[in-house]
A and B are shown apart, each in its own frame.
Chain A
Amino acid sequence: MRLILTLLSVSFGLLYGNGGLLKVDWSKTVPNQQKLQLLPKLLKDGIKDVRLPVYIPKYYIYEKNISVISDKNFYTITIFLDKATLMISGDRTYQEKITSKRNNLITKMKAVTNKFIQAEGIMSVDFHRNGVNYSLSLECNAPSSDPRCTDNRFLKRVYTGLILVGGKR
């Protein structure tokens, strides 16, 4: 019975899946071509197939001690700082589309974005730009004493210094 139910639910999921791709708004994106040519190969190669605007903090644009994980719908760039890791991630997928039928969720969901929070010792901000979602976070080796993780000023500075470095239309 369970097998049949699972098969049925998988089939329904495939047919009527609630997820999809967000529409990217490219109209306000102007990459700085001069800077793009100088990007480290690791970064350039890592983001070449990403189909959403790719942002990275301008302070680390030429940093070579980074990691880039991506596919066409998302990217995560990790920058290894002294005793901390900085991460920026962009994503154009969505998993749920809420209709008025699920009022419970709508009424209980409070719009919070661009708010810097320190949760589990990790300073982070989620934001919506160009129609898609981004997360920026900082994880410190000493989460309770490193000022970069106890105070949001460092991450705010990084956030305001984000620049567009790529993305395939």
Chain B
Amino acid sequence: MRTLLAITILLFISACTHNKKLSKEEKAFKYTPAGELVPSNSGKGRVGDNYIYAPNIRFPIEEAPAYINSQVYGVGGMYGKRGRLCSKENYQYPWHDNYCERRSWSMPMCPSGKGHQGVDIRGATCEDKKYHAVAVEDGVISYIGKYSVSLRGKSGRTYRYLHLDSKTLQVRRGQKVKRGQRIGLVSNNFGNTKTTIHLHFDVKETIVVNGYAQKVFIPIYSSLVDAYKRLLNGNP
């Protein structure tokens, strides 16, 4: 018992005194706070809500770098600066939250009651079908549509991946998947039309507020920042 206690104390002291150096990638990573939408006229986010709703999930794109920013208000987007969708500006830090970005549909957790229900993530470059989306936790593939895939995680959350290339999906309905397992390639698939090359990622969970249970799309940006930091330090 004493030995065990001594080892625990030693481990704790050694961990506290160990000062890990940040890698180049970790140093380069920058992000604006959750809820601060860019540009400011792109909607009203949940400013100040840094709560990690989905703790310890894996980042949904296999490798860094990846970029969270707006498709609609980014360069070349419908309401964005003029330019090419593949502009370098869209593929650089800092990340910008785009949960609750202006949309026409109802969203219970957005301050305005309406907004984007997830976040848009670009791969490292503007290349189609190059970057793998992966399972963020162990679970089962519960649904596959024309351009969306749902993963029911062990936690009970439902993770939805939109715009993966349907022809190269690496999972089937009912398949059990492990955290980090490849699901499909990030593309511009939007049924019979096309969107920009990106992964739309959203998460649904049930929240009980004052005894009333409601299933909602949760703010996922902070959870993704946390997951990305772990990916960068080699512990995804």
Q: Report which A residues bind B (CB closer than 8 A).
A: 1-4, 6, 9-10, 13, 19, 22, 67, 69, 71, 73-74, 76, 78, 84-85, 87, 89, 91, 93-98, 102, 104-106, 108-113, 115, 117-122, 126, 128, 131-133, 135, 139-144
Q: Report which B residues bind A (CB closer than 8 A).
A: 11-12, 15-16, 18, 20, 46, 48-49, 51, 53, 55-56, 103, 105-109, 111, 113, 117, 140-148, 150, 152, 155-158, 162, 173-174, 190-193, 200, 204-210, 212-216, 235
Given A69-B174, A76-B142, A115-B106, answer yes or no on A94-B193 (Cβ-Cβ < 8 Å): no
Residues of chain A with a CB closer than 8 A to B56's CB? 6, 9-10
Q: Out of A2, A76, A143, which one reaches B191, CB within 8 Å?
A: A143
Asked if A119 and B174 sit within 8 Å, CB to CB, the answer is no
Residues of chain A with a CB closer than 8 A to B16's CB? 1
Closest A residue to B11 using CB positions: A4
Asked if A19 and B155 sit within 8 Å, CB to CB, the answer is yes
With A74-B156, A98-B208 known, 18 other A-B pairs at CB within 8 A are A4-B15, A6-B56, A69-B152, A76-B143, A84-B146, A85-B143, A94-B156, A95-B207, A102-B51, A105-B51, A109-B214, A109-B216, A110-B108, A110-B113, A112-B108, A131-B213, A133-B206, A143-B191
- Tell me how far the C-beta of B6 lies from the nearest C-beta in chain A, rounded to whole angstroms: 16
Q: How many A-B residue pairs have CB under 8 A?
A: 162
Residues of chain B with a CB closer than 8 A to A96's CB? 53, 205-208
23 contacts between A and B (CB under 8 A): A1-B16, A3-B15, A22-B208, A67-B173, A69-B152, A69-B173, A76-B143, A91-B206, A91-B215, A95-B156, A96-B205, A105-B209, A106-B209, A111-B212, A112-B108, A117-B105, A119-B117, A120-B162, A128-B213, A128-B215, A131-B213, A135-B215, A140-B191
Distance of A104 Cα from B142 Cα, bound (Å) = 32
Asked if B206 and A69 sit within 8 Å, CB to CB, the answer is no
Residues of chain A with a CB closer than 8 A to B53's CB? 95-96
Residues of chain B with a CB closer than 8 A to A131's CB? 213
